[in-house]
Chains A and B, each alone.
Chain A
Amino acid sequence: MTRYVMVADLRRCVGCQTCTASCKQANATMPGVQWRRVVDIEVGEFPDVSRVFVPTGCQHCENPPCEEVCPTTATHKRDDGTVQIDYDLCIGCGYCAVSCPYEARYLVDKAEFAYGDEPMPNEAKRFDEGKVGVAQKCTFCIDVIEDGIAKGFKPGVHPEASPACVNACISGALTFGDIDDPESPASKILAINETFRMHEDLGTEPGFYYIWDKKPEDLLG
């Protein structure tokens, strides 16, 4: 089996939003739509405060609540563990969006562009009418991954088969790969680090891991 997951090392993320920008560039999302974003969390009280940058987006859950509620089956989980949307089936009811505990979904009612009603040439070239009036979210750049695999590249190892955010990350905070493959970059980094997932109490089994520390030496053997 294959299950693609993302690993974000919170010790490394500097909140530069390069992943956000690269995602927007790669997927040509409209203004206000951020499939990959970095949440800026402040904790504690002055003077004892911490600031944590948390990359987030669709968590490609093992038990996706968005898939469960979708009345059309437009939202579906694939054999590779990713959760995808069939834009031709989606009716834009928004039920998936209110069911997602990670605020990962967007609904664009009408086409919007960076500079007013008229698209810039690059926007016009990549405008997809099929994404208007329907739900949309991070795909883990599944089109790139599939294309890369077809060309013999390995997801998470080669940029040709990895999500844009992972390729763009300046600090190496994002790692991608098949968690069922012990040799994948994601499996390797998870094996030596302490992690958590967000809102685990909801039972969604997210495919997005956050590293907060290295594992103790005695656990690593």
Chain B
Amino acid sequence: MKKGKKRAKMGPWPRLQKFWDIRAAGNFIGGGTGSGLLMIAAIFILIGKISIAAIIVGAISVSLGLLMVFLEIGRPWRSINMFFHPQTSWMTREGIVVMPLFLTAGLAVFYAGQPINITIAIFMGFFALVFLYCQVRILHAAKGIPAWRHPCLRPYIFSTGITEALGVAVCIPGLMTEQGLWIALTIALTIRFLFWKNYLKNLERDGAPEASCAVFEEINPKVQLAHIIAIVLLVAAWLTQMPILAVPAGLIATATGWTIKAIIVTKAAQTRGFAIPRTPVRGQGKSRVLGRQR
């Protein structure tokens, strides 16, 4: 929010949700990066360049994300109950798809180098894709938080999962010399940045709570700088053929994505607040029609 800008003329104001904290953000951080890495690992298997490290790091990352959820919930020993509602709940769907995802990841490591691994990789990539999509939809289904349910957040969350995974991939020994990854990361960074800007623009336009917009405006210059530095490092790595320059680019790409996710889930998660479209008729016999609340 720009200084001096008038607040909407009604309250009480939206307030920060306290139900999901950094542990919930951890699920999106670990799950997004991990599923993205497993997708990348699947593609590598399909082109005949298996990376066991990428599969293991990806699976561990997803596991850590789920562990964070386990730590977040109030009754963790009942967590088996979360599989009861696949009809509509994206959280249930995420929990269900993680089982075949881990299974195929394990099989991909076990059958490394064998012809059957192509089939396994296709399934692993598919389940990783579905897992990431579930994460996208989990936030979107939260109707109480305008910054989460905004449709422009969906492509951003998806693209940042892929970008973070590529960022980790260029840091993995054995993959860091793959120039195709450098190009892919450069493209992913560009796409993510465009989705980020689109999200911010439309969030403001569609009347999200001012506090949410203010948090994003505060972080935005750093996000822009991080993307520029990462892309410059990747171009420098390509020009000089020095893979070591791609590593900090990858770290920046990943750290930026993680930071933004943490901010989205924690600091920017303002509720919609309460609003009435008009005041009751009392006394003077007039009703005041009210504008949109922010």
Give the B-binding residues of A (Cβ under 8 A).
9-11, 39-45, 50, 52, 54, 56, 65, 67-74, 89-95, 97-103, 107, 109, 132-134, 196, 198-199, 202, 204, 210-214
Contacts and interface: CB of A to CB of B under 8 A. Distances in A.
Interface of B: 9-12, 15, 17, 19-20, 24, 69, 72-76, 78-79, 81-85, 88-92, 95, 138, 141-145, 148, 269, 271-272, 274-282, 287-288, 290
* 4 nearest CB pairs, A to B: A92-B74, A133-B74, A94-B19, A10-B280
B72 A69 contact: no
A45 B291 CA distance: 14
A199 B288 contact: no
Contact of A70 (B19, B85, B290): B85
30 contacts: A10-B280, A41-B11, A43-B10, A43-B279, A44-B9, A45-B9, A50-B279, A68-B89, A69-B88, A71-B81, A71-B83, A71-B89, A71-B92, A89-B81, A91-B75, A91-B79, A91-B81, A93-B69, A93-B72, A94-B74, A95-B89, A97-B19, A99-B141, A99-B143, A101-B271, A103-B144, A199-B275, A212-B278, A212-B280, A213-B281
A10 B89 contact: no
Contact of A93 (B9, B82, B279): B82
Contacts of B282: 11
A159 to B, nearest CB: 26
A74 B74 CA distance: 14
Contacts of A72: 78, 81-82, 84-85
A157 to B, nearest CB: 25
Contact of A95 (B142, B272, B275, B279): B142
A91 B73 contact: yes
Chain B interface mostly: loop
Given A11-B280, A93-B91, A198-B275, A109 B74 contact: yes
Given A54-B274, A54-B276, A107-B74, A99 B82 contact: no
A139 to B, nearest CB: 19
B91 A43 contact: no
Contacts of A90: 74-75, 78, 81
A101 B144 contact: yes
A68 B86 CA distance: 10
A25 B161 CA distance: 48
Given A68-B88, A212-B280, A101 B272 contact: yes
- Of B12, B88, B89, B290, chain A has the most CB atoms within 10 Å of the CB of B89
A211 B282 CA distance: 12
Contacts of A9: 280
B146 to A, nearest CB: 9
Given A11-B281, A91-B75, A44 B288 contact: yes
